A and B are shown apart, each in its own frame.
Chain A
């Protein structure tokens, strides 16, 4: 059954995956084993995306199926499914409300086992700093699509430094036009050219 669930999610079979999870839970299969199988499926989806066999829409659909399956399992468990791989504070920087890339990254980070604190869009530097302090997160992921967002990213990173958190927090950035020159301009540690790379960076920095 568990193997079947992994392949069902890879094949983006929403209803069949959820039906298989329900059946497995009703049949007494260990919930955490199911989570592992779902993650195996997601890992294969990620590999296919990296190899350009899958496109973003397929990544989004698989993450949606994963999210629903986890909700079923958590309902059975009465709580969270597993220990977090670490905390990440995520948001679109001040002056920018584009959230597509940010939402995809947040969703994939959750699928990969990170605790994600998503502050939404148009987030002030102060709000990022406050959330880093509150959660103790060691990774900050800043998103922005406009070139004006580069200034807000820089301002946010300066605020993190000003709060004496920079040495303990890694900062990654992303968004349509972001490249290495923007990393240099803002003082970030790295950028993700797509959502998959953002997750790999998170694993690298928090692993």
Chain B
């Protein structure tokens, strides 16, 4: 593809991922929460009906402008989140939550520190299933589990069809529903909660290492199943609890970095691109991320990290993606959004290796005119 020819969205994103210069900077936000609110589809419908989520995104693009792709999509993801998370999450329209409310993880500890070593002893899948049946009131028998699993498979297949339909329209689902947690992130968010897990790191380091070793392959396997189901050869690897906002550099090097490295390598070896969706501030750890595979990962920042430092330190190592802040999209004006995007595109995207995105999710209460300004910016400055 020559420099002057217009690329497809897929080609544009792939070129940026390889640190090459595409025909223009691609724009790939997390948009479906906003799109559904904008198009009059409830958040509940979005989580449980990918078709409605897709129609909402189409209307949003028709009104506000085309996007090259969308990053993590929540469309149709409700049944998976209900089933896979040890603590059933707060989901709109579920267990008394309003139909148009936001969603949240619930972080009540589901295990005691004495159980870290049980994960390996029992076997990760069996141990997780035991826990899931304890914490989910609707899962009392194995038949219940199979029924819920059936719903997950049904919805994942719908997501796979949605992915294919978007690709035909030249809109690239960046990571679809291909979710991967590293063991540390999983333990902190899903099993122990942030505060208890932080204390455990000081008190039971060897037990955490043992649990990490036991969990990792199952967590990788979940991501691999997502890739095989959707056909999208990228995975969403979410990070926040192992950021510099949470743990020390020493703890990062000792516990987290080996996991990030090993998990990334696992997927890269299989031709799959890790999309490191890093919320919170990772700036102090940027030099250490050079240990991850070169020219094979996307580093997606949310506005809390210094994205300019990321470009300076990691620009020749991984594609940088980000980071229009949620606050700006809700409280700012279109001119401010335009100026923010222009600066990112010119400073970080002029030599390639950059994808413009929202910092984490476009808030569902963002101003439509701000979202429009963000969409238009890549055509104006990219």
> Is there a chain B Cβ closer than 8 Å to A147's Cβ?
yes
List, in ascending order, chain B residues with CB within 8 A of A179's CB.
327
Q: CA separation between A151 and B327, bound complex, in Å?
A: 12
A181 touches B194 (CB 8 A): no
Contact A181 B104 (CB under 8 A): no
Given contacts A147-B330, A177-B325, is CB(A57)–CB(B248) below 8 Å?
Answer: yes
Contacts of B102 in A (CB 8 A): 95, 146, 148
Asked if B203 is an interface residue, CB under 8 A from chain A, the answer is yes
Contact of B331 among A52, A61, A185 (CB under 8 A): A185
List which A180-199 residues lie within 8 A (CB) of chain B: 181-182, 185
Inter-chain contacts of B280 with A (CB < 8 A): 176
The answer to whether A57 and B251 have CB atoms under 8 Å apart is yes
Min CB distance, B362 to chain A, in Å?
A: 10
Residues of B with C-beta under 8 A to A176: 279-280, 304
* Chain B contacts for A12, CB-based, 8 A: 202
Q: Flag whether B198 is at the interface (Cβ < 8 A).
A: yes
Within 8 A of A (CB), among B275-304: 279-280, 284, 303-304
Which of A16-24, A27-35, A96-104, A135-143 lines the interface with chain B?
A: A96-104
The answer to whether A14 touches B331, judged by C-beta atoms less than 8 angstroms apart, is no
Q: Taking the nearest CB of chain A, how far is it from the CB of B85, in angstroms?
A: 15
- Residues of A close to B201: CB separation below 8 A: 57
| B363 A147 Cβ-Cβ under 8 A | yes
> Is B271 in contact with chain A by the CB < 8 A criterion?
no
Q: Is the CB of B327 within 8 A of A147?
A: yes
In A142-171, the 8 Å CB interface with B consists of 146-148, 150-151
Contacts of A64 in B (CB 8 A): 199
Q: 1/0 per position for B251-269, CB-CB distance to A under 8 A?
A: 1000000000000000000
Q: Does A72 contact B (CB under 8 A)?
A: no
Contacts of B247 in A (CB 8 A): 55-57
Q: A57-B198, A60-B195, A95-B101 are in contact. Are A182 and B244 (CB under 8 A)?
A: no
Q: Is there a chain A Cβ closer than 8 Å to B245's Cβ?
A: yes
A60 to B280, CA, bound (A): 17
- A58 CB–B CB distance under 8 Å: yes
What is the number of residues of chain A that contact chain B, defined by CB distance less than 8 Å? 30
A100 adjacent to B194 (CB under 8 Å): yes
> Once the chains bind, are B332 and A61 in contact (CB under 8 Å)?
no
B320 to chain A, nearest CB (A): 20
Query: Which residues on the A side are within 8 Å of B136 (C-beta)?
Result: none
Partner of B195, one of A98, A100, A181: A100
| CB-based contact A150/B330 at 8 Å | yes
Q: Is the CB of A60 within 8 A of B331?
A: no
Instruction: Give chain A interface residues in 61-101, CB to chain B under 8 Å.
Output: 61, 64, 95-98, 100
Interface 1/0s, chain A 96-128, versus B by CB < 8 A?
111010011000000000000000000000000
A61 vs B202: C-alpha distance when bound (angstroms): 8
- Report the nearest A residue to B199, measured CB to CB: A64
| A147 and B365 in contact, given A177-B327, A181-B331 (Cβ under 8 angstroms) | yes
Query: Which single member of B107, B246, B326 contacts A57 (CB below 8 Å)?
Result: B246
In the bound assembly, the distance between CA atoms of A182 and B107 in angstroms comes to: 26
Nearest residue (CB) in A for B325 is A177
Q: How far is the CB of A95 from chain B (nearest CB, A)?
A: 7
Chain A residue numbers with a CB within 8 Å of B194 are 100
Which chain B residue has the least Cβ–Cβ distance from A60? B198
Are B327 and A181 in contact (CB-based, < 8 A)? yes
With a CB–CB cut-off of 8 A, which chain B residues contact A56? 198, 245-247
**Docked CA distance A146–B361 (Å):** 10
- Roughly how many angstroms separate A60 CA and B200 CA in the complex, as a whole number? 11
Q: Write out the residue numbers on chain A whose beta carbons fall within 8 Å of the beta carbon of B195.
A: 60, 100, 103-104
Closest to A61 in B: B202
**Across-interface contacts of A148 in B (CB, < 8 A):** 102, 363-365
Q: Which of A57, A58, A96, A185 has the most CB of B within 10 A?
A: A57
Given contacts A54-B248, A176-B279, A181-B331, 16 further A-B contacts (CB under 8 A): A55-B244, A56-B198, A56-B247, A96-B104, A97-B90, A97-B104, A97-B106, A100-B107, A146-B102, A147-B327, A147-B365, A148-B364, A148-B365, A178-B327, A179-B327, A182-B327
A-B contact list, 8 entries, CB within 8 Å = A14-B202, A58-B248, A97-B90, A98-B104, A148-B364, A176-B279, A176-B304, A181-B328
